[in-house]
Structure 1
Amino acid sequence: MTQRHHPSGEPHKGAILAIILVSYVMIVLDISVVLTGLPRIQEQLGFSEANLAWVQSAYTLTFGGFMLLGARAGDILGRRRMFVTGLAIFTLASLAIGASPSATWMLSWRAVQGFGAAVLAPSTLALLQTNFAEGHERTRAVSYYAAAAGASATVGLVLGGVLAEWVSWRAGFYVNLPIGAGLIVAAYRYLEETPKHTGRFDLPGAVTSTLGIGGLVFGFIRSAQSGWNDPITIVSIAGAAVLIALFVMIERRAAQPILPLALFSSWVRSGAYAARVLYLGAMVGFFFFTTLYLQTVKGFGPALSGLAFIPATILHVPFAIAVPRLVKSFSANRLMIVGIVIGIAGMAWLSFANAGSPYVTAVALPMLLIGVSQGLTLSPLTSAGVAGVDDADAGAASGAVNVAHQIGSSVGLSVIVAIAGTASAGLYGQAFAVTRISAAFEAGTAMLVLSLLIVTTTIVAADRIPAAKPIGAAGAA
């Protein structure tokens, strides 16, 4: 692909990386920025306790549900075009959310924002793949990408709490307007359009994957609120299973599939997707339930709760940035295993927190371990998820990585919420809160253990068998 050049002849790699990272930071930031501000949002817009969860779920549903459609659209229509389209939708939706006069208005535009993120997110990783050569250059770029994702999640919690208490929760969304506008201008200046790929768009695959993933996420979210015996929960999950099975059948016959099934021909990629689902489920549970612990058990305000997450960032970012150098001495697989093991230790430590536990020893110290875990783990998992993929299918591979990310974030969190609810059934007051939060961290620990098992039996084991052939431009299985 042709690059734009400086007058000196050097490519604008720094500018391209900055555009990719800032746009991805916006996406991740808006997942976490609302968490510490939820009480203020509930107070101003009149959300009920049950409906408040949909401030997050409305975004996650459309984000996860339309991810594959957005990824394949970038492959077919051009990634810069879809990058700018997704960015424009996301930015305008942020403005509308900030101006929300009611709960219904906010939820509607959160869903639109999630759709914009679903178009934008796969393009960010696909552009990274096509602009940075495989090897050390791409490893370094992916490490920055992973660092930006993890750091922005924590920054979102800090920023959301500070703004909610000292300015307004709306400010967290308004800030996207100048950033989004600037990124659109920069994209047209520095990003070259990728070649369009002729062929029939896989509309049946797009529809079944979108409805199937959306139905699965909706069903698990609802189960946490209404129970597994709820008819709508049962119908949603059963319908989602049927749609996903139909989607697989369609993809086997599609000339230009929205998700090339050859992505799953590699133990490395398949293991990376499964491990990512479990790892992200545990990590989102960490953010969600630590916020609840700090505010409902320890009595912290929104701003102090946000600032209390700083230990999770102190070591996360430097370790993520150091991954390319560490890979030279230790393999990516070893870093991944060490990272997950450290995460298991940190999550298990958090499960012992109670009402009388000091913040420093019960929360801050295990947060340091969680930060190190994310820094060492996310970059190798991302690289494994796109390993051996040709440029023509880069969007589909990045879409699969992001779908795994969102399924872990939404379905994984819902599973933890359901487990925590079962463990605390019949309890009241502080005993209810402490038991529920402790059970959530125990469930997160179990998820990390399963993630470790998958990594060792797929990604690590694949080092001892011949690698799968790269996916061709047609993406045939």
Structure 2
Amino acid sequence: MASDRRWWVLATAGSAQLMVVLDSTVVTIALPSLQRDLGMSDASRSWVVAAYALAFGGLLLLGGRLSDMIGPRRTFALGLIGFALASALAGLTPTAGLLFAGRAAQGVFAALLAPAALAMISATFVEPRERGIAFGVYGALTGAGAVIGLLLGGTLTQYLDWRWCLLINVPIVIGTLIGVKGMSADRPARRVRLDLMGAFSSVLGMTALVFAMTEVAGRGWTDPLVAALLALGASMLVVFVRGQRVAARPLLPLGVLLDRTRGGAFLAVGLPQLALFGFFLVLTYWFQQVLGYSPIRAGLAFLPLALAIGVGSTLIAGLLTPRLAARHLIVPALLVMAAGMALLIGITPGTAGLYLTRFLPAEILIGLGLGCAITPAVATATSGVGDEDTGAASAAVNAVTQIGGSIGTALLNSIAATAAASALRRAPDRNATEVTVAGFDAALLTAAALLVLTAIAVVLVMPGTVRIRQPGRTEQDDRKPTPAVDRLR
């Protein structure tokens, strides 16, 4: 019976995690339709995505600490109800302003949902084999969710209406709330003084960084607003880190990050997102602008990537995580991703069979690599912390994912635009498609290099033999003899 309840927790938390990730991309393909219906300008349409990213990324650490204070189950239920109401507001809105407000509110409640969901999974699955399977499922949902969002958004927009890209969350929430009733109750809420200065500096710092990343594609890295936001974000995060060293109850205990094992895991979670989200951007334009795919066909073209992520996360990483040191699985997986990126460099537009010969193999390699990397990385990043800090560690995982994705989209988009302009200057007679593809090649080369550098960083930072500690265990506990089953070999 207890085993059944554990998998019930995974199904419930997983459905919420999928919903949160879906909403990062589900409106992307719907943007032309909703822009036309609500009379949005080209300049303002990016806020449909940015409003969600800003609130979500900025409030994650605060959401994680609230989960630790009042309990992950209560935080999870509160996040679900708020997310449904915000989705209804955004989906039924008659004006662009209310749509932006609804999307921002979705981000606020996603910042409660995501760390609470991961904290519940981390605290529930402590046996290495089951933990590997659970985090394999979580990794599949996290990695494939953005891809599924593109496919779902295209389908709903083409066959129903763009509003269903947002309203679809309401029935998902209702089903997930039924799952919450089958969970064990939280421990009593603790009266703990919240680190308000830490909350302020982290929210302001992360919001400024995410805001800068959403603006850099249109303004460029040298724009005064972008530079000011980057400076503000960096300075606020410095204030945050210094404050966490002296706070009685820090939002993010520095021990969570400074441990070499978890530090390497956070690198393996966050840095690949720079390459992945830029890859989404490049492939979206390749499919629709160069190959002439319709929105629904472009969404379907991403489907093998989602399937490969699922296979890598569950069938491969889920089985190998309990048997291998985390580094021994993460590093090869990152190199496989880099090989997939490299396969897309140097493609000649107009070549017959491009999807089957280049794009499909690349998606399979990138998907398998991502799935095999994210499962042990997330499991390691949330292991070995006390019960009172599981929400904070879970929030940090989501924060590095969100920031990595935002930076990656802006970085690779800027590199692609700069390289395309440079190619046009060198050869003014080249056609527009060739110039665009030259920009894509530069972006993909950068993405492949980032993945190789991440693999090197993980080798340097993460110990070769990594032990996954059960929730609540400390380093002192690890010095005591423990059953061999508790070790990752």
Q: So what's the TM-score if we normalise by structure 1?
A: 0.91
Q: Aligned equivalents of 1:353 and 1:45: distance in 2?
A: 38
Q: Aligned equivalents of 2:321 and 2:186: distance in 1?
A: 32
**Equivalent position to 2:379, from 369, 378, 383:** 383
Instruction: Give how far 1:191 is off.
Output: 3.8
Is the contact between residue 42 and residue 48 of structure 1 (CA under 8 Å) also seen in structure 2?
yes
Superposition RMSD in Å: 2.1
Instruction: Give how far 1:330 is off.
Output: 4.1
Is the contact between residue 95 and residue 173 of structure 1 (CA under 8 Å) also seen in structure 2?
yes
Instruction: Give how far 1:371 is off.
Output: 1.2
Instruction: Give how far 1:54 is off.
Output: 2.5
The match for 2:103 is 110
Q: Deviations over 1:105-125 (max 9, x none)?
A: 222211111111111100001
- Are residues 209 and 329 of structure 1, via their aligned partners in 2, closer, same or farther at CA, if it must alter by over 3 Å? closer
Q: Is 1:366 aligned with 2:369? A: no
> Residue type matched to 2:173 in 1?
G
Q: Where does 1:254-265 land on structure 2 (aligned, <5 Å)?
A: 254-265=247-258
The match for 1:405 is 401
Q: Where does 1:163-182 land on structure 2 (aligned, <5 Å)?
A: 163-182=156-175
- Are residues 91 and 45 of structure 1, via their aligned partners in 2, closer, same or farther at CA, if it must alter by over 3 Å? same
The match for 1:3 is none
Instruction: Give how far 1:462 is off.
Output: 6.6
**3-state secondary structure, aligned to 1:258:** coil
The match for 2:470 is none
Q: Is 1:336 aligned with 2:330? A: yes
**3-state secondary structure, aligned to 2:182:** helix
> Residue type matched to 1:411 in 2?
I
Q: Is 1:392 aligned with 2:393? A: no
Instruction: Give how far 1:33 is off.
Output: 1.4
Instruction: Give how far 1:102 is off.
Output: 3.0
Q: Aligned equivalents of 1:184 and 1:441: distance in 2?
A: 41
- Are residues 11 and 309 of structure 1, via their aligned partners in 2, closer, same or farther at CA, if it must alter by over 3 Å? closer
The match for 2:451 is 448
Q: Deviations over 1:411-451 (max 9, x none)?
A: 22211122222112264732343223222222211221121
The match for 1:350 is 344
The gaps in structure 1 that reach 5 residues or longer are 1-5, 473-477
The match for 2:293 is 300
Q: Aligned equivalents of 2:323 and 2:112: distance in 1?
A: 37
The range that moved more, 383-392 or 113-122, is: 383-392
Instruction: Give how far 1:256 is off.
Output: 0.6
The gaps in structure 2 that reach 5 residues or longer are 425-430, 468-472, 477-489
Is the contact between residue 326 and residue 380 of structure 2 (CA under 8 Å) also seen in structure 1?
no
- Are residues 200 and 471 of structure 1, via their aligned partners in 2, closer, same or farther at CA, if it must alter by over 3 Å? farther
Instruction: Give how far 1:328 is off.
Output: 5.0
The range that moved more, 19-28 or 41-50, is: 41-50
Q: Deviations over 1:120-164 (max 9, x none)?
A: 100001011122225222222111111122232222111111222
Q: Aligned equivalents of 1:355 and 1:192: distance in 2?
A: 57
**Equivalent position to 1:55, from 15, 32, 48:** 48
Is the contact between residue 98 and residue 174 of structure 1 (CA under 8 Å) also seen in structure 2?
yes
Is the contact between residue 79 and residue 194 of structure 1 (CA under 8 Å) also seen in structure 2?
no
Is the contact between residue 353 and residue 363 of structure 1 (CA under 8 Å) also seen in structure 2?
no
Q: Aligned equivalents of 2:212 and 2:173: distance in 1?
A: 33
Instruction: Give how far 1:100 is off.
Output: 3.0
Q: Is 1:219 aligned with 2:216? A: no
**Equivalent position to 1:327, from 311, 321, 328:** 321
Q: Aligned equivalents of 2:181 and 2:282: distance in 1?
A: 41
The match for 1:435 is 438
**Equivalent position to 1:149, from 138, 142, 146:** 142
Instruction: Give how far 1:166 is off.
Output: 2.0
The match for 1:95 is 88
> Residue type matched to 1:286 in 2?
F
Instruction: Give how far 1:48 is off.
Output: 3.3
**3-state secondary structure, aligned to 1:66:** helix
- Are residues 51 and 431 of structure 1, via their aligned partners in 2, closer, same or farther at CA, if it must alter by over 3 Å? farther
Is the contact between residue 35 and residue 288 of structure 1 (CA under 8 Å) also seen in structure 2?
no
Instruction: Give how far 1:179 is off.
Output: 1.4
Q: Aligned equivalents of 2:82 and 2:436: distance in 1?
A: 38
Instruction: Give how far 1:11 is off.
Output: 5.0
Q: Aligned equivalents of 2:364 and 2:97: distance in 1?
A: 38
> Residue type matched to 2:376 in 1?
P
Q: Deviations over 1:71-129 (max 9, x none)?
A: 00010122111111111121111112222323322222111111111111000010111
Instruction: Give how far 1:460 is off.
Output: 4.1
Instruction: Give how far 1:389 is off.
Output: 1.0
Is the contact between residue 389 and residue 471 of structure 1 (CA under 8 Å) also seen in structure 2?
no
Q: Aligned equivalents of 1:134 and 1:413: distance in 2?
A: 37
The match for 1:475 is none
The match for 1:193 is 186
Q: Deviations over 1:318-371 (max 9, x none)?
A: 221122322355443222122111100001112333422422122112111111
**3-state secondary structure, aligned to 2:421:** coil
Instruction: Give how far 1:459 is off.
Output: 1.7
**3-state secondary structure, aligned to 1:291:** helix
Q: Aligned equivalents of 2:154 and 2:349: distance in 1?
A: 22
**Equivalent position to 2:24, from 17, 20, 31:** 31
The match for 1:421 is 417
